[in-house]
Amino acid sequence: METTSTLETSIREEARRAVEAVAERQAEEIKEMDKTYAEEIARYRERVEDEARSRIDWERSRIASRGVLEIRKLRLRSLDELTEACVEKALKRAGSDPRYRRFLLGTIERAVNDSEGSEFEIRLIKEDFSHKEAIGEAVSATGKEVNFTVTEDESVAPGGVLVENKLNGWIFNGTLERASFRKSPEIRREVMEVLKRHGFSD
């Protein structure tokens, strides 16, 4: 009887130790799994944060680049508007400049001199009709025998002249508007230089 009791006790003790050993192994495995999961979670979090930082940096760079581009566009637009305003004011005052008469007569003389034909129509704004006598002298200065008429044409405003050759319909555009358009890059550069001299960057 005592032997049976001792045997049972021994079996129970072995079973207890076996259960404890299994429990310890499971606990170690769970601990290892927790550690692995924690490392995976940390790596995932780090990857997500890196991607988020990269995305934020990219967005920030893109916004900054767009901002720089918009500022440049605004500056160019402002420069163009300023140039246009300066030209417009200058053209409005051109008629009262002593050099305007010289420009007008020289343009007419060149147009007649550089084209074939003997009949021309000279188109002016009404304000320039006061130069009719001088226009006749300019045409005579070419040494060509020509007939010409002077007509009013408000499309020539703010000044200058259109000279039409009646032989072939060729029109010489000597308007101030056309002259300022041809000179616009030069005018723009001059405006930029003035702005630079006064402390404004381009």
Q: Token pair of 156, please?
A: 């020539």
Q: Is the pTM of this model over 0.85?
A: no
Q: How far is CA 29 from the centre of its chain?
A: 65
Do 68 and 99 fall into the same domain?
no
Do 59 and 112 fall into the same domain?
no
Domain that holds residue 104: 95-184
Residue 80 within any structural domain of the chain: no
Degrees to nearest 5, angle at CA 152 with 87 and 167: 105
Residue 140 within any structural domain of the chain: yes
Do 18 and 63 fall into the same domain?
yes
Domain count, the chain: 2
Residue 77 within any structural domain of the chain: no
From first to last of its 202 residues, the chain has per-residue pLDDT tens of: 456 677 777 777 776 776 667 667 776 766 776 677 667 777 767 776 777 677 766 766 666 666 655 556 656 666 677 777 777 777 777 777 788 888 889 999 998 988 888 899 999 999 889 888 999 888 888 888 888 899 999 888 888 899 999 888 888 898 888 887 877 777 777 777 777 776 665 5
Residue 190 within any structural domain of the chain: no
Q: What pLDDT is attached to residue 124?
A: 92
Q: Cα separation of 190 and 168, whole Å?
A: 39
Q: Cα separation of 72 and 136, whole Å?
A: 51
Do 110 and 54 fall into the same domain?
no
Do 55 and 99 fall into the same domain?
no
CATH of residue 173's domain is: 3.30.2320.30
